[in-house]
Structure 1
Amino acid sequence: MASGRKKPKSSLAALSDLQNAPTQPVYLLEGKDSFLRDEYLRVIRRKVLGDGPDDFNHDRFDWTEIDAPPIITIAQTLPFMAEKRLIEILNFTRPGERDESIFLSYLDQPSASTALVFCVENVDMRTTFFQRLAKASLVCGVDILEGEELKKWLHGRAVALGFELRPEAAEMLVEMVKPSMMRLSTELEKIASYVMPGTLAGPEEIREIVGHSREELLYKLGDSLSQRSLGGTLVLLRRMMETEHPVRFIGLLRNLIRRWTISKALIRSGRGVQGISEVLGLPPFVAKRLEGQVRGLRSAYLRELYGKLLQVDRKLKRTSDMKAARQALELFLVDVRSSRSGAHKVV
């Protein structure tokens, strides 16, 4: 049994350890990402139970519906016609005094024929219980991947599904979907069903297949407004109005104008795409897209746009009539286009 507190490894490193290391008597899966947690549980199940039936040697409990005695009774029972049994405890939190005592007694001498898995969102290492649990366990961090590790996972997952991702496509996918391993996995599966096997998917495929997200709508809205495309902007508005409240469209516009204003100031100061990327925390391809959108926009126009947006926002908050709300937004967009094209003087 290992000694001392084991700091959770990164998710990919932990998965590699699980696949290559001997089966452990106790595991602690620590973190909030349910998708990654289930990935680890699948690996543990294969190691402990193999590929055969597991009806008699696999138990899965929700800690909110059970206490320690029946879990430990099962853990101390020999497996049925197999070498190992597996017990998973989901939604585990710090137990009460009686259950804590029972668990700690078991952790001092865990059964060699049982793998006991604690799935915990938040481990409070200030408590004696979690200190001793961590000391007795193989500890794996199951929070969402980030940075290079997330990109590595995306590329590996894409290859497993039969296609490849360009680096800029992986960045776009993360930006559009936002942190959620489950959603990222689902979008990769959608892409795999759309492209031919062996395809090297780029930004165009991502826009086409995943392009109904909030972020992509924001980019398309920016393209339409900066290019004076009233028709394109109205199409986006009507698409959103099919399922969303107009206030969401206002939110998109507010976010867009904020990005435009900051990008415009950065361009004027000479920082360009790199500055936009650093200040707004966006991938370079997104920063380049913003730079292209604001090149022909004047600061006075952005101020006027924001002022008119506030007026529309106040109108929408005073009505529950969806038809009237859409008409108000359409009139706003028509007014914006005429102002942008010079029919109204911008000061």
Structure 2
Amino acid sequence: MKIDEFNKAVSRGDISPLYYFHGDEPYLMERAVKRLTDLVVPPDFRDFNLDVFYGNECKGDEIASVAQTLPMFADRRMVIVKRSGDLSAAALEILAACAVDPPPTTCLVFVGEKVDQRKKFFQELKKKGELVECKRPYENQLGAFIREEAKSLGKRIEPAAAEMLVYLVGSNLGELTTQLEKVALYVGQREAITIGDVRGIVSDTKVESVFDLANAMGERDPAKALRSLATILRDGEAPLMLLAMIARHFRQLWRVRDLMAQKVAQQDISRLAGINPYFLKGVMAQARNFGTHELKRVFESLYAADLELKGGGSRRPALIMERLVMDVCGISR
């Protein structure tokens, strides 16, 4: 079951006695568990009917015993097991037996990163419950995610504004949602969120500097790029996140450069590259600054910086990023 299928099911009131949420997007898992908790256990009775365990700190019989306990003053009890990937083989064996005949008055929820459907526990859980995949959306799916979030806030967001939000914030769903909530409060009673609204609110955060840095590197302006980098690092941004944003920007430049070389019409470049027309002119101008062989060298530099940051070498992260900026801005010059 995908996360959107789960959301539709619980909206209809279809709640399973067993769930295992898994995937690489913790924000979606946390939100799904919260939604389920709000539906299953009334706030006034959570002291009696809500139990939370951690897979690395508990035994299978502890979880099974609580799951089989009748709820107090309510229709259902909820038991949540976080870090379920850390459950021991013995614990999974006990819980597999529990999954064969789950108590109808309990909603037993497991949260982990991966599932192994060869194991008996997952085979039994799948028969009586739901395996819910919480997968991080692809870059081209972020616009749809933002539009749905805006809709839940009673707002409509312009396509260019959604694209700007992704540019400024990146792909972190939690941060995207937080910034969108700020913008929704800012516009007040107005229904539509515009690109000006996004820039007016989100530009006050440190992610605006990331946007400026990527553009400065695309413009091959080392002085401007280094100033932006200094601001970002001073504000405590993680170098690896920053590197991912830069790589995303240059992937777009390479795609646009390739389409321009094929003489593709500008409106088709916007569609094929997944870039809002509002930003396309600037991206095309930056793409002209790099030949194909230069872009290859840019990605060689990005890869080298990634290895060095993850390898924990002697050079400080700030020096690694400064060298990257100088390499990219000065390639073939």
Q: TM-score, normalised by structure 1?
A: 0.70
Q: What secondary structure does 2:44 align onto?
A: coil
Displacement of 1:85: 0.9
Counterpart in the other structure of 1:111: 103
Of 278, 285, 292 in structure 2, the residue corresponding to residue 292 of structure 1 is 285
Q: What secondary structure does 2:84 align onto?
A: coil
Alignment root-mean-square deviation, CA = 4.4
CA distance in 2, matches of 1:96, 1:329: 44
Counterpart in the other structure of 2:19: 27
1:1-347 superposed matches below 5 A:
8=1, 10-93=2-85, 95-146=87-138, 150-211=142-203, 212-213=206-207, 216-221=211-216, 225=219, 236=228, 239-240=231-232, 242-243=234-235, 263-264=256-257, 266-271=259-264, 273=266, 274-275=268-269, 278=272, 282-285=274-277, 286-294=279-287, 297=289
Cα distance change of structure 1 residues 215 and 134 upon mapping to structure 2, 3 Å threshold: farther
Cα distance change of structure 1 residues 125 and 176 upon mapping to structure 2, 3 Å threshold: farther
AA in 2 matched with 1:207 = R
AA in 2 matched with 1:116 = L
Residue-by-residue CA offset, 1:248-295 (whole Å, 9 max, x unaligned):
9999889877865764564244135445874xx552444442113455
Contact map agreement 1:32 1:121 (CA 8 A) in 2: yes
Contact map agreement 2:163 2:276 (CA 8 A) in 1: no
Contact map agreement 2:22 2:112 (CA 8 A) in 1: yes
CA distance in 1, matches of 2:146, 2:62: 40
CA distance in 1, matches of 2:236, 2:70: 55
Q: What secondary structure does 1:54 align onto?
A: helix
CA distance in 1, matches of 2:149, 2:67: 35
Cα distance change of structure 1 residues 18 and 99 upon mapping to structure 2, 3 Å threshold: same
Structure 1 residue runs without a partner (length 5+):
1-7, 337-345
Displacement of 1:217: 2.1
CA distance in 2, matches of 1:250, 1:65: 36
Displacement of 1:219: 4.8
Cα distance change of structure 1 residues 181 and 291 upon mapping to structure 2, 3 Å threshold: same
CA distance in 1, matches of 2:94, 2:324: 63
Contact map agreement 2:169 2:175 (CA 8 A) in 1: yes
Q: What secondary structure does 2:46 align onto?
A: coil
Higher CA-based Rg: 1
Residue-by-residue CA offset, 1:218-244 (whole Å, 9 max, x unaligned):
454258x47x8x986675355346447
Q: TM-score, normalised by structure 2?
A: 0.73
Contact map agreement 1:62 1:90 (CA 8 A) in 2: yes
Contact map agreement 2:142 2:171 (CA 8 A) in 1: no
AA in 1 matched with 2:55 = W
Displacement of 1:32: 2.9
Displacement of 1:18: 1.6
- Equivalenced residue count is 311
CA distance in 1, matches of 2:72, 2:290: 75
Q: What secondary structure does 1:52 align onto?
A: helix
CA distance in 2, matches of 1:189, 1:168: 17
AA in 1 matched with 2:107 = A
CA distance in 2, matches of 1:241, 1:25: 47
Displacement of 1:64: 0.8
Q: What secondary structure does 1:115 align onto?
A: strand
Contact map agreement 1:222 1:256 (CA 8 A) in 2: no
CA distance in 2, matches of 1:15, 1:138: 12
Q: What secondary structure does 2:174 align onto?
A: helix
CA distance in 1, matches of 2:275, 2:157: 16
Displacement of 1:99: 2.2
CA distance in 1, matches of 2:269, 2:56: 49
Displacement of 1:80: 1.7
Displacement of 1:199: 4.7
Contact map agreement 1:260 1:290 (CA 8 A) in 2: yes
Q: What secondary structure does 1:86 align onto?
A: strand
Residue-by-residue CA offset, 1:100-136 (whole Å, 9 max, x unaligned):
3321222222212111111121011222321222222
AA in 2 matched with 1:33 = E
AA in 2 matched with 1:290 = V
Residue-by-residue CA offset, 1:28-52 (whole Å, 9 max, x unaligned):
2222322221222222223222343
Contact map agreement 2:99 2:125 (CA 8 A) in 1: yes
AA in 2 matched with 1:57 = N
